[in-house]
Structure 1
């Protein structure tokens, strides 16, 4: 056994016996410190599979003496954002455990709370550069000790996403990956790429947007940008200021909770490359033949199935919708209609699926559809729950006609294709006559 291995085992043994020094915790500041201001101090808390419950502060200039830190392992840096109250982020322990479950790695939680805690947001923004320089110095030292920059992953939240971008830029874009969770918008909107996160900062950059109309940054800033619910207001978040603090932070924080859910494999957040959220909701972007294999990108840790294609494409926008609560995933179907009715009608489609006891409903009302003689329409139906098997389907076409006679609409074919469950059979029905604003029900048939 090598001396390094022996020291590692001894360190683990002493931690278990409680004979080592106490755990090093994330800085927790008093409520008065945001008012008086704090000086930037960057701490690195090391977690591995051997000490998931007990962080150890890693000395910047003497990290080789820490037996738990192995530079030959992949290293992931977790970088928080603006902390106006000075309290530790509630999600730190969760992301540490979930990252450790992905693979054997060093997890370094970047604690720059003394630079991010200030009622003056502009001071925190100014401290992002100093924080980046501090971490960059450590990474350069790690490289000299044999670490591969290819295996370094920077995960930045809000302001932390730009810290990650600055680190990557200083290192010439050689780090393996940067993940930006709703990069901060204020003070970073409209600035040149060198002053914010951008795709040249790492070999691969993925970004998740959840609050572009407030604290988040609009636009595309990675090789792939995921837009949850269009990247704007998130379902379940308060809509009025009377909800207090949650009104301001809920949409912005949703990026972290979606990412945690994806890491935990609780959510299947499949995203569809598209030019806009409106086009996605209209069913215009539901195929991913560009990728090999022909599957759409999924938010999460492992991006390897789509990485090469995304690097070749340049910058890709990908959209998905969520529910208001865990597990956030919606169940999606592609609905193809072929109509043959005598009179031109405009309306929206309401689709209900039955499995005997339960019913789920999707309203495809993001825009009016044109129903006329031999018109083919493609829609996206999204449900908050998954019912299977489907025993009955109900369909209603709602028009603006409330006082006149009900016109008939003839469907030559309706075909319903499961998107997240491609192994399930397609459901079809042929030659259906229905009245506008009236529901018709039928049993699905196998598709020809």
Structure 2
């Protein structure tokens, strides 16, 4: 298969020159991701696919590979895992801002080959439909490249493809060419426009790899709504992401922030700043209502952790067939929330409806959880179960504050008498379960108390 970018002679000189310089310990010129401008995307460019290799020996200096000279490339070790990173639509023609960090974080996990698939000269076009049509051509080019890898000893099991937006569907097309024998496809907010409603052969689907994990962050605009993998994660429900602009007056960020958040969430799973626990559930509403907090069937840990290491739960996920899982995040990196199950038993005879804000205090640190996605029902002697997701994790909780509100602008102010409140961490099973008894909440008034370890009768 001939490169779309360079002649075979050019490839030969490139690889031989690189080999000589490396053997002599001399520096070589780095091969860079194609950098275009809006002018290029406006007039259009001809598709050209480049494969840029990064390893621990050339972490910050890409090497463009020739599909026919793989055996003569000293940096490429085909006995190692190979991860392909495939970008999506690039209307401005600029390189992805996240690409360098993603390459470095991947290689930090293990000694692998990372191949950046640079198809910017097919993705940079103001006409999105042209970029969509180029996805199949890019996939054909990439398929031929992998076939050459196989001929030189690479195993399909050791290939992991990470596709962003249109890159997710390119990964699927490649996987279909190999009858789903590629080891893993990770799809980061797969593109929705022109793919929604299409049959499986025209988009990513679970049969495209041995394991397909998908993250949805912008399903109501640029992303895909329905499940596409063996497990589909929906961050904050899969649509609007916290911290992203809500109006068009914010400019470009209004259009790309939700969509691009998928990459930054995946990056956080690589640097292990904190773990994002996901909860298998049928709907986001059920998740927020705390109905899906049991993960007894999942191994090796009770609930799967979103991101790069989700393949640890592969066997369980494949056994369950297609799984949807949900999690919530904060607005800023590292995006993690700490989840508590809160059980409240009230004394009031009349049924009250309202929302609760809970604050945990440890010295000057304050963690806040607003349980306001809908009004909760508080009925006499009945347990109201709430899912509280705090914006930070406090190892020691010295004080708890509660705020009850009905959100009524007019009318009387209510009191809510709690016979008991119990707070149990879902992320940290070693933390104390906290209780408090006989608390009166006046509407819109913060009430603080020192929590106590729960007794045996509270479980």
In 2: Cα distance, 1:215 partner to 1:405 partner? 45
In 1: Cα distance, 2:444 partner to 2:56 partner? 59
Q: Which structure 2 residue ranges, 5 or more long, are not aligned?
A: 1-16
Deviation (angstroms), 1:344: 1.4
In 2: Cα distance, 1:409 partner to 1:263 partner? 44
In 2: Cα distance, 1:94 partner to 1:337 partner? 44
Select 1:17's aligned residue among 26, 47, 66: 26
* Aligned ranges 1:306-321 → 2 under 5 Å: 306-321=313-328
Select 1:150's aligned residue among 157, 172, 191: 157
Secondary structure (helix, strand or coil) at the match of 1:291 reads coil
- Residue 34 (structure 2) aligns with: 27
Q: 418-427 vs 89-98, which deviates more?
A: 418-427
User: Are the counterparts in 2 of residues 12 and 50 from structure 1 also a CA contact under 8 Å?
Assistant: no
Deviation (angstroms), 1:43: 0.7
Deviation (angstroms), 1:8: 10
- Residue 206 (structure 1) aligns with: 213
Q: 216-225 vs 385-394, which deviates more?
A: 385-394
TM normalised by structure 1 equals: 0.93
- Residue 304 (structure 1) aligns with: 311
- Residue 249 (structure 2) aligns with: 242
Q: C-alpha offsets along residues 67-97 of structure 1, whole Å, 9 cap, x if unaligned?
A: 1111111111000111112111111111111
Select 2:282's aligned residue among 271, 275, 290: 275
In 1: Cα distance, 2:308 partner to 2:320 partner? 20
Secondary structure (helix, strand or coil) at the match of 1:302 reads helix
Q: C-alpha offsets along residues 230-279 of structure 1, whole Å, 9 cap, x if unaligned?
A: 11111111111111111111111111111112111124221111111122
In 1: Cα distance, 2:407 partner to 2:245 partner? 31
Deviation (angstroms), 1:401: 6.0
Secondary structure (helix, strand or coil) at the match of 1:303 reads helix
Deviation (angstroms), 1:329: 0.9
Secondary structure (helix, strand or coil) at the match of 2:354 reads strand
Secondary structure (helix, strand or coil) at the match of 1:17 reads coil
Question: How many residue pairs align between the two structures?
Answer: 439
User: Are the counterparts in 1 of residues 32 and 62 from structure 2 also a CA contact under 8 Å?
Assistant: yes
Secondary structure (helix, strand or coil) at the match of 2:150 reads helix
Structure 1 residues 334 and 9: alpha-carbon distance in aligned structure 2, compared to 1, 3 A threshold: farther
Select 1:50's aligned residue among 48, 57, 62: 57
In 2: Cα distance, 1:343 partner to 1:59 partner? 75
Select 2:198's aligned residue among 191, 209, 215: 191
User: Are the counterparts in 2 of residues 8 and 68 from structure 1 also a CA contact under 8 Å?
Assistant: no
- Residue 228 (structure 1) aligns with: 235
In 2: Cα distance, 1:265 partner to 1:281 partner? 25
Deviation (angstroms), 1:400: 5.2
Select 1:380's aligned residue among 383, 387, 401: 387
In 2: Cα distance, 1:349 partner to 1:152 partner? 47
Deviation (angstroms), 1:338: 2.1
In 2: Cα distance, 1:404 partner to 1:163 partner? 57
- Residue 265 (structure 1) aligns with: 272
Q: Does 1:165 align with 2:172?
A: yes
Select 1:349's aligned residue among 336, 346, 356: 356
User: Are the counterparts in 2 of residues 11 and 67 from structure 1 also a CA contact under 8 Å?
Assistant: no
Q: Does 1:396 align with 2:411?
A: no
Structure 1 residues 246 and 294: alpha-carbon distance in aligned structure 2, compared to 1, 3 A threshold: same
User: Are the counterparts in 2 of residues 11 and 68 from structure 1 also a CA contact under 8 Å?
Assistant: no
Deviation (angstroms), 1:405: 5.7
Q: C-alpha offsets along residues 336-380 of structure 1, whole Å, 9 cap, x if unaligned?
A: 122232211111112121223343332211111111122112111
Q: 97-106 vs 418-427, which deviates more?
A: 418-427
Structure 1 residues 375 and 249: alpha-carbon distance in aligned structure 2, compared to 1, 3 A threshold: same
Structure 1 residues 242 and 403: alpha-carbon distance in aligned structure 2, compared to 1, 3 A threshold: closer
In 1: Cα distance, 2:254 partner to 2:63 partner? 35
Q: Does 1:359 align with 2:366?
A: yes
User: Are the counterparts in 1 of residues 19 and 73 from structure 2 also a CA contact under 8 Å?
Assistant: no
User: Are the counterparts in 2 of residues 162 and 197 from structure 1 also a CA contact under 8 Å?
Assistant: yes
Deviation (angstroms), 1:301: 1.4
Deviation (angstroms), 1:382: 1.6
User: Are the counterparts in 2 of residues 282 and 367 from structure 1 also a CA contact under 8 Å?
Assistant: no
Q: C-alpha offsets along residues 301-348 of structure 1, whole Å, 9 cap, x if unaligned?
A: 112331111001111111111111111111221111222322111111
Structure 1 residues 413 and 241: alpha-carbon distance in aligned structure 2, compared to 1, 3 A threshold: same
- Residue 339 (structure 1) aligns with: 346
Q: 158-167 vs 223-232, which deviates more?
A: 223-232
In 2: Cα distance, 1:262 partner to 1:11 partner? 36
